[in-house]
């Protein structure tokens, strides 16, 4: 963010990821209870995209730090997709193949980036 020392930046990076971890645990529990996963994945993907848009369009420290809280919530979608694929297949071999395919396809975005 440019306005902090290295130690301060590392300290300020912990709260967004702590929030993300708490949201992942809560969303996993809730989605398992209600049985809805797709809309939750889409919602947190949208929230993460909004965070990245704010990060790309603002230069102030406060809006960028707020956007960091939003942008790390993309990991809720990632964790939820892994859980969804793991729960969707009946046998262990199909589950392993599904997770392998998901991991392979999931790396296509970073390769393109």
CA distance 54 to 84: 29
pLDDT at 26: 95
pLDDT at 106: 79
CA distance 47 to 36: 18
- pTM score, whole prediction: 0.81
Tens digit of each residue's pLDDT, the chain (113 residues) = 677 888 888 888 899 999 999 999 999 999 989 988 899 999 999 999 999 999 999 988 899 999 999 999 999 998 888 888 887 788 888 888 888 888 888 788 778 77
- Angstrom CA distances, 48 to 42, 83, 87, 96, stand at 10, 19, 24, 28
């Amino acid at each position: 963010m440019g306005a902090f020392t290295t130690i301060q930046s590392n300290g300020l990076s912990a709260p967004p990821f702590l929030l993300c971890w708490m949201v992942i645990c809560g969303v996993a529990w809730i989605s398992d209870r209600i049985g809805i996963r797709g809309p939750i994945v889409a919602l947190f993907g949208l929230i993460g995209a909004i965070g990245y848009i704010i990060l790309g369009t603002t230069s102030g420290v406060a809006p960028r730090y707020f956007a960091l809280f939003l942008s790390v919530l993309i990991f809720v979608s990632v964790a939820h997709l892994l859980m969804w694929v793991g729960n969707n297949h009946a046998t262990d071999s199909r589950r392993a193949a599904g997770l392998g395919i998901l991991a392979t396809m999931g790396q296509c975005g970073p390769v393109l980036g």
